[in-house]
Structure 1
């Protein structure tokens, strides 16, 4: 099971990614969700994905069409918006299809590409959040490094490396996932090969270990940024109100990040242990699948909060928005 499994869709369709198909003495360990749960998750996924698309497209338009070149922070934030946009963009269409066609047959291409696409962009999102945190840390805690370390070229190179690493880490679904049909032919499943390939488990372990790194980096940078802001409050009382707002925003960002991401990774570690058959049992697997759906929904929600917390509430972005709309109105008046 991956961080954002197709089993989200299983709550309102008969298609699912079932990596535990043979974990319990060859017993297919699945549970059929209630109709109200399917409806609630369908509405939630549609609402969150549409909001995520609108907000992240808005952020990208402002950054890309603004007359000035992007700063280091804006390079990271535009890549974050792109990762979040790619993450949520497939869900409206897939949710509508899954919600209206219970007998929808999963294709081989969708079986492989959907988990790959979602997890690659989820990984990119968390790594770019780490880059944003490092940039904030350098700007506030080590401001003298601004000229040496904080350059747009370095930021672009770092983003290219992140996209490349996340691509490589999520290649296994393209290789090992395959479509299977139930004996009566009523529905299809996207399952791992049996037995589960060793290389898949190795890549899952590497991916999970690598995801611990950005979580640790974000926590470290945020704590030090808060400490630096508090020192500024003590040393410059005339800016106390402004700095307190900045400290509050940093705390909110950290709290939102921890709530949205850490539970999903804890469940992901438990899932890896179940694939290794260290933890097992049908009851455990059913509860794990339920937790996966809930926490994956939190990760989707984070894709809506990111453009709000990191970008839209920023004074610099608000200035860019005003300049953007002024520029657009000027161009329209000239054209008419």
Structure 2
């Protein structure tokens, strides 16, 4: 019988075998687990290099968005509040990503607490980021298509309440990840440490620890889903990726397609040059979202469908390679969000230029205090005059 509680049987999620429940007195052929050489080689390339670039770009871009809203452009509309929260979610993700990569390559040296915390942070930011993008598309739909009612529906109070609800929902949806993810030694690991004096291979535990006294190879811990029984394993291993695909991709995608289609129709009727440029921005937002997240979610869907079926080692390795590559492509979206949703706006770019100018001025120690005071006063006056609450309705996509 297959035991799914600790990745036992043939499990393409963490690719482990367990013989814990078998009778060791009979004659059995013990098959070694698959070796995922292609996946490991791909991770060695993506981890130190591509993911590092994503972390740096995401850290710089989202930090600039947060600094701009904190010191230069105070949030005055629903879109501003949503953009600030998206930047916070993306920033938390790019901060956690290096730690996740480090632990995966060093067999989770930071322990079980880091396993749960980092996986949980990733899950919370995934749901919150995607739902906030759906909120932005809804806000722009109301501002442009339902312009007559926008002043009543779009307020800072509503936006803050909605953001709080989004973060709470993201936390609730991440409870299974926080609870079931654990750091442990896979049941197949002892296959690497079998000895003549024992004759059989037993899972690592306090009772079987003497088996490992002469072992020189480092035990390779993993941070994966772990369960107490098969029923829970079947349910959660289907529920977690299904929820991630439904709430973290398909629901935001449907909202974005509906809202932005209505926005494009409204903008095309406006017969205005700026509005036609805005149509290109809308198409870019939707195209980038689909290009970044569609491949990974299709791969995740295929993996979920075939999860409990036996697979050849080569096919399982190819699937993990595809999942690794498409997940990296999804990570790239956190770098593009600041460009698509913030820096593409004229007002935001003006505030960003002021940040660059101020940093340049602060770098010149010979600058006169009076001149620096005058520059700061001009920035303050400019910030006070840039009121977005009323003018944002018709220029949410202005280039």
Question: C-alpha distance in 1, partners of 2:76/2:17?
Answer: 50
- Equivalent in 323, 335, 340 of residue 304 of structure 1: 335
CA, structure 1 residues 221+104, in 2 after alignment: closer, same or farther (shift >3 Å)? closer
Within the candidate set 180, 188, 191, 2:221 is matched to: 188
Q: Tell me: CA distance 1:167–1:86, structure 2 relative to 1, closer, same or farther (3 Å).
A: same
Determine whether 1:21 maps to 2:30.
no
Contact 1:180 / 1:189 at 8 angstroms: preserved in 2? yes
Q: Hey, what does 2:198 align to over in structure 1?
A: none
CA deviation digits over 1:138-197, x for unaligned, max 9? 111111121111111111111111111111111112211222222244311123225353
Q: In structure 1, how many angstroms separate the alpha carbons of the residues matched to 2:256 and 2:310?
A: 30
Structure 1's 30 and 216: CA in aligned 2 closer, same or farther, altered over 3 A? farther
Stretch of structure 1 that moved more, 297-306 or 278-287: 278-287
* Structure 1, 70-79 or 109-118: larger mean CA deviation: 109-118
Residue 66 (structure 2) aligns with: 60
Deviations 1:73-127 (A, max 9, x none): 100100111111111112234545666xx56636211222222111210121111
Asked if 2 retains the 8 angstrom alpha-carbon contact of 1:49 and 1:300, the reply is no
| 1:125-136 mapped onto 2 (5 Å cutoff) | 125-136=129-140
Q: Is 2:263 the partner of 1:258?
A: no
Gaps of 5+ in 2: 1-11, 19-29, 194-217, 362-368, 377-399
Q: How has the CA–CA distance of structure 1 residues 48 and 331 changed in structure 2, closer, same or farther, with 3 Å as cutoff? A: farther
Structure number with the higher helix fraction is 1
TM-aligned CA distance change 1:271 to 1:37, over 3 Å: closer
SS in 2 for 1:90: helix
Shift of 1:203: 4.6
Structure 1: state its 5+ residue gaps: 1-16, 234-238
Aligned to 1:144: 148
Residue 224 (structure 1) aligned with residue 258 (structure 2) = no
Change (3 A) 1:279 1:265: farther
TM-score, normalization: structure 2? 0.69
How many residues end up aligned between the 2 structures? 311
- The alpha carbon displacement at 1:30 in A equals 4.5
Runs of 4+ in 1 over 6 A off after TM superposition: 325-332
* Cα distance change of structure 1 residues 35 and 204 upon mapping to structure 2, 3 Å threshold: closer
Pair 1:320 & 2:359 matched: no
Deviations for 1:1-57, whole angstroms, at most 9, x for unmatched residues? xxxxxxxxxxxxxxxx9534359x986344024657613442000111111011101
Query: Which residue of 1 is the match for residue 252 of structure 2?
Result: 214
Question: In the aligned structure 2, how far is the partner of 1:103 from the partner of 1:325?
Answer: 41
**CA RMSD, aligned part only?**
3.1
The aligned counterpart of 2:385 is: none
The answer (yes or no) to whether the contact 2:107–2:222 under 8 Å persists in 1 is: no
Contact 2:58 2:334 in 1 (8 A): yes
How has the CA–CA distance of structure 1 residues 114 and 206 changed in structure 2, closer, same or farther, with 3 Å as cutoff?
Answer: same
Deviations 1:190-233 (A, max 9, x none): 23225353552335434433332111101111222111111112
Secondary structure (helix, strand or coil) at the match of 1:191 reads: strand
Q: Distance in 2 between matches of 1:272 and 1:35?
A: 24
